[in-house]
Structure 1
Amino acid sequence: MRIRDDRAHEEPEINLVPLIDVILVLIIFFVITTTFDSRSMLQLQLPSATGEPVAAQTKALSLLVNADGRYFVDEREVLRTDIDALKQTLSQVAGEDRERPVLLRADARTPHQAVVTALDALGQLGFRKVSIATAPEARP
């Protein structure tokens, strides 16, 4: 009596279900652990001042100046640090609305010239409602 060995004719198969499960778990892990906060991109140390914040009626145009003197208008980075590039980016973001309030947020370690350049560009474009953001003064 001859006993057949059917195992020799079986083809090996690759089970993809565990691989797909692992990939889905990794995707979920990375999505949950990723932060989508735009403020986490720039670490600003605002100068301190006393006073109460004023509520704005419309969304202000945000102009950030980091410690290196680089400019950011809303979510767009100005590629060069000269006044013409800053004016061009401000015009593109704000459009024709010169009555829109502008919030200037400059790092406390920013060179003074970078802040003066930002204020000069805003003045040349006709923005009159400019506010400078500060951090509350530390109380002992």
Structure 2
Amino acid sequence: MARRSRTSIPEEDTELNMTPMLDVVFILLIFFIVTSVFVKTPGIDPFQPEASLDKQWKPSILIAVNAQNEIWIDKRPYSVEEIRPIVKSILDESPKAEAIIKADKDAEVGTVMSVQELMQDLGVNTRVGTE
């Protein structure tokens, strides 16, 4: 019987292919960015009236009404007639959005009520914030 000799084969440097791992990381990153809910800030911080009972609430839409009765959404002022398409576009991004209206203590009640009625017409759970 012929005996085979075992020869050693030189080891080659092995490299890990990182491409599939990077693909998975980027897909996860895109998934979390797309599914996250961003809070729309009003752009101003009105002086609010005081309340006797204050409960914590985390809305995703913040609307502010200042003393000049300007309605601020996402750092831009609007009138009551202009906010319906703005709120609809926010609802398209996040259908289960809840809203809070922060009104200055010197703002007209009629303006705040108009905003609240509009939000109710659109089916948004809305509260009026106080200090």
The two structures have a TM-score, normalised by structure 1, of 0.56
Give the Cα separation in 2 of the matches to 1:61 and 1:68: 21
Give the Cα separation in 1 of the matches to 2:62 and 2:77: 12
Task: Say if 2:123 is the partner of 1:126.
Answer: yes
Cα RMSD over matched residues?
2.3
Show the counterpart of 1:65. 65
1:111 counterpart letter in structure 2: E
Sequence identity (%): 15
Q: Which runs of 5+ in 2 are unaligned?
A: 1-40
2:113 counterpart letter in structure 1: V
Give the Cα separation in 2 of the matches to 1:42 and 1:77: 9
The partner residue of 1:97 within 83, 94, 99 is 94
Give the Cα separation in 1 of the matches to 2:91 and 2:73: 9
Give the Cα separation in 2 of the matches to 1:116 and 1:70: 13
1:36-115 correspondence runs (5 A): 42=44, 44-56=46-58, 59-78=59-78, 81-83=79-81, 85-95=82-92, 97-115=94-112
Between the two proteins, the alignment pairs up a number of residues equal to: 91
The two structures have a TM-score, normalised by structure 2, of 0.59
Q: Which runs of 5+ in 1 are unaligned?
A: 1-37, 136-140
Name segments (4+ residues, structure 1) moved above 3 Å.
none
2:52 counterpart letter in structure 1: T
